[in-house]
Amino acid sequence: MKNDLERARNFEKKYLPRVKKDEMPHFHVTGGVGWINDPNGFSVYQSEYHLFFQYYPYDVKWGPMHWGHVKTTDFIHWARLPCALAPDSPYDKDGCFSGGAVELHDGRQLLMYTGVKNTRRSNGTVVGTQTQCLAVGNGVDYFKYDKNPVLDAKDLPEGGNPIDFRDPKIWFENGLYYAVVGNRTADKSGSILLFESEDGFDWRFSSVLASCHNQFGKMWECPDFFELDGRHVLLTSPQDMSSMGLEFHPGNSTLCIIGSYDRERKHLIRSNTQAVDYGTDFYAMQTVKAIDGRRVMIAWMQSWETSGCKPDKLPFFGQMTLPRELSIKDGRLIQKPVHEIERFRSVKVGYENVIISDETNLQGVKGRFIDMTVTVRPGNKNQMYRYFKLNVAKDGEHVTMIRHKPENNTIRVDRSRSGFPHDIVNVRDFPIAAHDELKLRIIMDRYSLELFVNDGEQAASFVIYTPVMADSISFSSDGAAIIDVEKYELEV
């Protein structure tokens, strides 16, 4: 147990140099080797952005969780740092689960994570107890706190369950450290608990910030809570969600609650709820308040349900989304790719007022590392097209299709022919708001497609494993559509 961290770091030293750049995304975070899931500890430390992640270096599947580590100054270029935490202590021997990070006033970096310890009951079943633990470090090396765990079963409110008590997100505000943590409640669903501390080490229960009441899934994982444009936002990733129209998909889903914060009761009063992302691959998002004040979010660009599904030869598993800037407009969460990505645009190809009816290719419009915006208007003012299709990552065999159907104002993304070796969930439909024109911005980075509709009113993330040579793009519509295209290569 003792040498687990050393073993992980040695493994990285040996295998990371063998990673081939031409097998990897160019600007989306991966583990380099092994498996990653949730983003952890997304925070500012000594004027740089640190990102940790759930990590199993030794295989492309989930295993005893470590914390991997990268940092950036521009959200695009990420420097890899050595593995930060390994499950090497009695209280976290079965995993260092998700958590947060904050810069302490003395210049050290504090990590708070969930320690998992399994015990075997007399009937043979294994139960994992989850507690909140600390590690302190200098941005590279971390030492686990000798009084761990700092929050356990005794800190839970009545009905709280220590088997599902995880994923602390910590921050500092008005002289206090705060943590929000997910917890299973007596009604078998979930709640988000708020804890406080004067020094970051000595923690006490403060309030139940919000409860699920079996309304939006069950256990709420990976909470984050912050002020945004004068409102308060709670982000969480519910397990066992039931579908609700086209808003939420079943299974592991995402939930954004926008509301106001009752500071006396320390309780969030709900106004609006929505999914965070409408794609097949998005979970466990976490945010940071950037140095310039922006609220920037990153997520695991993957679904748990399909996490075994990848081409055989892929040397790594799991990637993060591109970081996104958040805002609120008309009571909804707006997401835009961080503006830093625009610095890496090159080779502009632009078209205006192109009439589309049959399948059309436009000279120079192709690629798999691209930032492209397509604006679509009906060709005839009095008659809307029946559908408009944008096909990307295309060759004779492959295609990933984005379709707008004005009749019910939905977008469908279909990745059934996008390089997957199994028949998994490949299609998502989601509602959009009606506007005079439709704006589709897509960012592609080899193995992913992120779609931003109408300046970020909806975002939808998809993993694709289409061979990179399939880089053709085409447009078609039933009934004329008029489009403008602005396409850039991304050279990162």
Contact between 356 and ligand FRU by CB under 6 A: the answer reads no
118: burial class by Cβ within 10 Å (0-12, 13-18, 19+)?
Answer: exposed
Give the footprint of ligand FRU on residues 68-127 (CB under 6 A): 97-98, 114
Give the span between the Cα atoms of 134 and 144, in whole angstroms. Answer: 6
Of 37 and 466, which has the nearer Cβ to ligand FRU?
Answer: 37
Contact between 281 and ligand FRU by CB under 6 A: the answer reads no
Give the span between the Cα atoms of 88 and 104, in whole angstroms. Answer: 24
Contact between 296 and ligand FRU by CB under 6 A: the answer reads no
Tokens of 118: 């399994």
Site string for ligand FRU, 211-230 (x = CB under 6 A): ----------xx--------
Size of the site for ligand FRU (CB under 6 A): 13
- The CB-of-57 to ligand FRU minimum distance in angstroms stands at 14
Contact between 37 and ligand FRU by CB under 6 A: the answer reads yes
Tokens of 454: 């109408």
Of 64 and 315, which has the nearer Cβ to ligand FRU?
Answer: 64
Residue closest to ligand FRU when measured from CB atoms: 97
Handedness of CA 337, 343, 349, 351 (dihedral sign): positive
Contact between 38 and ligand FRU by CB under 6 A: the answer reads yes
- The CB-of-135 to ligand FRU minimum distance in angstroms stands at 15
- The CB-of-174 to ligand FRU minimum distance in angstroms stands at 28
- CA dist list (Å): 288 to 150, 281, 300: 23, 21, 15
Question: Look-up: residue for tokens 């600007």?
Answer: 27
Q: Which residues of 444-471 are buried (b: 16+ CB within 10 A; e: fewer)?
A: bbbbbbbbbbbebbbbbbbbbbbeeebb
- Exactly one of 33, 60, 65, 84 binds ligand FRU (CB under 6 A); that residue is 65
- Do the beta carbons of residue 198 and residue 256 sit within 8 Å? no
Contact between 209 and ligand FRU by CB under 6 A: the answer reads no
- Do the beta carbons of residue 81 and residue 115 sit within 8 Å? no
In one letter, which amino acid is 388? F
Site string for ligand FRU, 371-400 (x = CB under 6 A): ------------------------------
- The CB-of-56 to ligand FRU minimum distance in angstroms stands at 9
- The CB-of-443 to ligand FRU minimum distance in angstroms stands at 23
Of 114 and 474, which has the nearer Cβ to ligand FRU?
Answer: 114
Helix H or strand E encompassing 334? strand 332-337
The reply to whether 395 belongs to the active site is: no
Give the active site residue among 4, 38, 224, 414: 38
Of 89 and 114, which has the nearer Cβ to ligand FRU?
Answer: 114
Beta-carbon contacts of 133 under 8 Å, excluding residues fewer than 6 positions away, are 89, 91, 92, 96, 112, 113, 114, 115, 144, 145, 148, 149, 150
In one letter, which amino acid is 174? N
φ and ψ of 90, to 5 deg: -55, -35
Contact between 284 and ligand FRU by CB under 6 A: the answer reads yes
Of 38 and 155, which has the nearer Cβ to ligand FRU?
Answer: 38
- The CB-of-237 to ligand FRU minimum distance in angstroms stands at 6
- Exactly one of 92, 94, 167, 450 binds ligand FRU (CB under 6 A); that residue is 167
CA 261: distance to chain centroid?
24
Of 167 and 281, which has the nearer Cβ to ligand FRU?
Answer: 167
Of 37 and 335, which has the nearer Cβ to ligand FRU?
Answer: 37
Residues that bind ligand FRU (CB under 6 A): 37-38, 54, 65, 97-98, 114, 166-167, 221-222, 283-284
**Which of the residues are catalytic?**
38
